[in-house]
Homo-oligomer: A and B are copies of this chain.
Amino acid sequence: MGPTIRDVAQKANVSISTVSRVVNNPLAVRKEKRDRVLVAIKELGYEPNPFASGLRDKRSMTIGAIIPDISNPFFAALLRGIEDVARENRNNVIICNSDQDGSRFKEYMHFFYKKRVDGIIFVSESITPNHFECFQKVNAPVVLAATESLMYDHPFVKVDDYRASFDGTQFLIKNGHRNIGMISGSISDPIAGRPRFAGFENAMNENGLLLQKEQVVFGDLKYDSGYQAMGKLIAKTPDITAVFAASDEMAMGAISFLTERGIEVPQDVSVLGFDNIPAARMIRPGLTTVAQPIYEIGHKSASALFQWVNTGVKPDSIMLDHEIIVRDTVIRKKTESLV
């Protein structure tokens, strides 16, 4: 193993407490000795053993992140934001892939408990009483990223999903679309589901567009469900001119379905996504979408968590701005002058 504090002390001809001081509170040591210690540290390549410190201080310098699936580009980008902040704070992050398998949640929290994480970032899923109970047991600060809890009072960092969806719908309407379908997330999903649906519904209503049941189909935010949902939607409402999908992946699924059926995007039907995942700009036609600042959500939520851990004062929640990224999949609807 590497050199210990004792090796340094010996080399610098001081006591181990002095070495510890120059590492943690250099000002408390007279310059002469301090320099001697610094030299010894450098020469030996000494690094404080984090296990010894952790054992004493009960701080792990580690945070936990619960993420649905890191191989999903949305979460990968978000995680990247978390990681970067953790690194700045000389912390690690332990990642747990929840796989939307609620049953494993308890296990993960247990894992965090075992590992004595200093704080937790909980990404994207909605909070159940079960979650809450587990949070209490680990007894570590919890910050929510891209989700929020109505019932429990955890700080969160996210976009205003309702507002974003409302604006997205408005955007479609401003472009002349009247007959708009929606591929929504599950209505029982209080984040990406209900609010985005509600934003759509209200925007339609406020524009005097009456919403029919047939215009909405539900998916699970992933590609395949978008593909299938589009099939159902087009069967029920063949005359739509635009589709609003609650996630980019579902939008991509919808586009695939449409394209395979010879329905051209955007000439025949426009498609609006939600998220702005990296792939959105890589496909042709480029996906027009309601963008969340994904990296920033991760970054800000981690910053908030560290602030909390370090100062002990619970941070405020943050509502980040969304933005409509105009690419190619939404066009202004031709006026129906011929009709």
Which residues of A pack against B, CB within 8 Å?
1-2, 47-52, 54-55, 58, 60, 62, 69-73, 76-77, 79-80, 83-84, 92-95, 97, 113-116, 223, 249, 252-253, 255-256, 259-260, 278-279, 282-284, 295
Contacts and interface: CB of A to CB of B under 8 A. Distances in A.
22 contacts: A47-B113, A47-B114, A49-B55, A51-B52, A55-B55, A70-B70, A70-B80, A71-B73, A71-B79, A71-B80, A71-B295, A73-B278, A73-B279, A80-B97, A92-B94, A95-B95, A223-B282, A252-B282, A253-B282, A259-B284, A279-B279, A283-B283
A229 to B, nearest CB: 15
A51 B47 contact: no
Contacts of A260: 284
B55 A52 contact: yes
A256 B256 CA distance: 16
Q: Across chains A and B, which 4 residue pairs bring their CB atoms closest together, nearest first? A: A51-B54, A51-B55, A259-B284, A76-B76
Contact of A60 (B51, B69, B77, B113): B51
Given A52-B55, A95-B83, A249-B282, A2 B71 contact: no
Nearest to A110: B47
Given A55-B51, A92-B115, A76 B83 contact: no
Nearest to A79: B70
A50 B116 contact: yes
Contacts of A95: 83, 93, 95
Contacts of A47: 113-114
A63 to B, nearest CB: 11
A71 B60 contact: no
Contacts of A83: 70, 95, 97
Looking at A51, A95, A97, the one whose CB has the most chain B CB atoms below 10 A away is A51
B76 A283 contact: no
Contact of A71 (B48, B55, B94, B278): B278
A58 B249 contact: no
A283 B252 contact: yes
A145 B335 CA distance: 56
A143 to B, nearest CB: 19
A84 B95 CA distance: 10
Contacts of A79: 70-71
Contacts of A223: 282
Contact of A50 (B80, B115, B253, B256): B115
Contacts of A282: 223, 249, 252-253, 256, 279
Contacts of A54: 51, 54
Contacts of A48: 114
A48 B113 CA distance: 11
Contact of A255 (B49, B52, B284): B284
Given A51-B55, A252-B283, 18 more contacts: A1-B58, A2-B113, A48-B114, A50-B114, A51-B54, A54-B54, A70-B76, A70-B79, A72-B76, A73-B73, A73-B278, A80-B97, A83-B95, A92-B92, A92-B115, A249-B282, A279-B279, A279-B282
